[in-house]
């Protein structure tokens, strides 16, 4: 009977989301992304961005974008396979392939498009896909859309993965293990060596989406899948995004020639969409150069992460074991997460309240993200605010 009213229940569904503190509202920023952002005519210290290296408003990247516009204009006019593929795209793909130590790379318009497009191009009915339970929505959607037999494995649980692989040991079709590198809501990393050992034992391919690790982890920011340690035989499919640590937009897939050419022929998310603007590719090449060269950004992030973790130990918050710039403070109840977010906003700090279905029920949280643009004093200001709110709560006062 749920659909008897057609679409008449839209308003009541929205009202229900509000009642359960699940309603989502967009912020309208009035200036560029950065350490501080302007909202409602007021400056806020921004702890809710994925701009991990602080490059989204770097003047060198902006200048490269302007030069790209002068050279290429603002739009590409068509898909890559029609007339939208330019030398700027090809140069960025070559740079990303070299950076990741893979023979080839392929650009996509977004990480979501890349993940759905890759899985759907490689798997179909009769194949098998195994996904970490906390994988990003784009990876999960790719698995479901592919029509392959879909299996969860418990978060970072190699034994559970092994058991599920063993159950289809004798099936002759394709088997794909899919995992985030760094998990976007918990900030922890996959157990890559164990996952790859399982893939080798069961003749499965591994696909790692290192969206939140590229630029941040590894020597020169190569990410979790360090090419000095892991070949394309170990990790045949590597996905990275450009809109996080590199501060621009888009995504890429890196791997062997046969993989990339297969995606060009079969990936609907690549074939049937307009190519990203060429100036964006020019700007991303510049941000990639900066990210590789400026190790101080990653070193500074480590300092900030250590300081934040040390400062929150005694405040009564449930801090997840993350060594990444993603530092979630789990509070459980959606209403409390919203209340804390609003209280921090009143104090000039912008931190998003993350609630189901983005995270599992009972794990609503403040998703604190640190960037290389932050200062130690900024972290101390956040800790002072959290300390005050924790003290108010312990005395029974409202936040």
Please check the confidence at residue 392 and state whether its pLDDT lies above 70.
no
pLDDT digits (tens, 9 = 90+) for 4-18: 578 889 999 999 999
pLDDT for 1 equals: 46
Q: Check residue 313 and give its pLDDT.
A: 82
At 239, which helix (H) or strand (E)?
Answer: strand 237-241
Q: How far apart are CA 211 and CA 11, in angstroms?
A: 35
What is the tens place of the pLDDT at every residue in 21-55? 889 888 899 999 999 999 999 999 999 999 999 99
202-224: pLDDT as tens digits: 999 999 999 999 999 999 999 99
- Greater confidence (1 vs 121) lies with 121
Beta bridge partners of 366: 329, 353
pLDDT of residue 113: 98
Select the more confidently predicted residue: 25 or 269.
Answer: 269
pLDDT band at 399 (very low <50, low <70, confident <90, very high): very low
pLDDT for position 3: 56
Number of other residues whose CB lies within 10 A of the CB of residue 277: 23
Mean pLDDT of 134-145: 96
Higher local confidence (pLDDT), 396 or 95? 95
State the pLDDT confidence band at 249, using cuts at 50, 70 and 90.
very high
| Inter-CA distances, 282 with 30, 52, 88, 89, 250, Å | 25, 20, 6, 8, 12
Please give the full DSSP string across 187-216, using - where no structure is assigned: --B--HHHHHHHHHHTT-EEEEE-TTTTTT
């Amino acid at each position: 009977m749920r659909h008897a009213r057609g679409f008449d229940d839209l308003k009541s569904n929205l009202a229900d989301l509000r009642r359960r503190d699940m309603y989502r509202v967009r912020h309208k920023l009035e200036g560029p992304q950065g350490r501080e952002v302007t909202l409602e005519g007021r400056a806020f210290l921004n702890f809710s961005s994925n701009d991990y290296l602080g490059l989204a408003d770097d003047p060198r990247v902006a200048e490269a974008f302007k030069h790209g516009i002068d050279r290429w204009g603002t739009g590409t006019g068509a898909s890559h396979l029609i007339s939208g593929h330019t030398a700027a795209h090809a140069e960025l793909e070559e740079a990303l392939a070299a950076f990741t130590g893979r023979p080839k790379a392929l650009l996509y318009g977004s990480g979501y498009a890349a993940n759905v497009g890759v899985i759907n191009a490689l798997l179909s009915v009769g194949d098998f896909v195994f996904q970490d339970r906390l994988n990003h929505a784009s990876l999960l959607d790719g698995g479901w859309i592919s029509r392959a037999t879909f299996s969860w494995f418990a978060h970072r649980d190699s034994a559970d993965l092994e058991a599920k692989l063993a159950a289809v040991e004798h099936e002759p079709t394709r088997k794909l293990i899919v995992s985030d590198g760094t998990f976007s809501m918990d900030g922890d990393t996959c157990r890559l060596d164990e996952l790859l050992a399982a893939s080798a034992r069961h003749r499965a391919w591994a696909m790692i989406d290192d969206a939140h690790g590229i630029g941040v982890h590894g020597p020169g920011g190569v990410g979790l899948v360090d090419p000095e340690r892991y070949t394309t035989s170990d990790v045949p499919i590597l996905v990275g995004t450009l809109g996080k640590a590199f501060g621009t937009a888009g995504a890429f897939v890196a791997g062997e020639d046969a993989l990339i050419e297969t995606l060009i022929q079969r990936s609907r998310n690549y074939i049937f969409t307009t190519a990203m603007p060429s100036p964006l590719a020019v700007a991303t090449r510049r941000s990639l150069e900066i990210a590789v060269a400026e190790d101080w950004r990653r070193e500074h992030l480590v300092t900030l992460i250590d300081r934040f973790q040390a400062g929150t130990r005694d405040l009564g918050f449930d801090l997840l074991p993350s060594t990444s710039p993603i530092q979630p403070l789990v509070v459980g109840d959606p209403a409390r997460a919203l209340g804390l977010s609003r209280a921090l906003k009143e104090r000039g700090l912008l931190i998003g309240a993350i609630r189901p279905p983005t995270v599992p029920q009972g794990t609503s949280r403040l998703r604190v993200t640190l960037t290389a643009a932050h200062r130690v004093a900024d972290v101390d200001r956040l800790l002072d605010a959290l300390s005050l709110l924790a003290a108010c709560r312990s005395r029974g006062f409202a936040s």
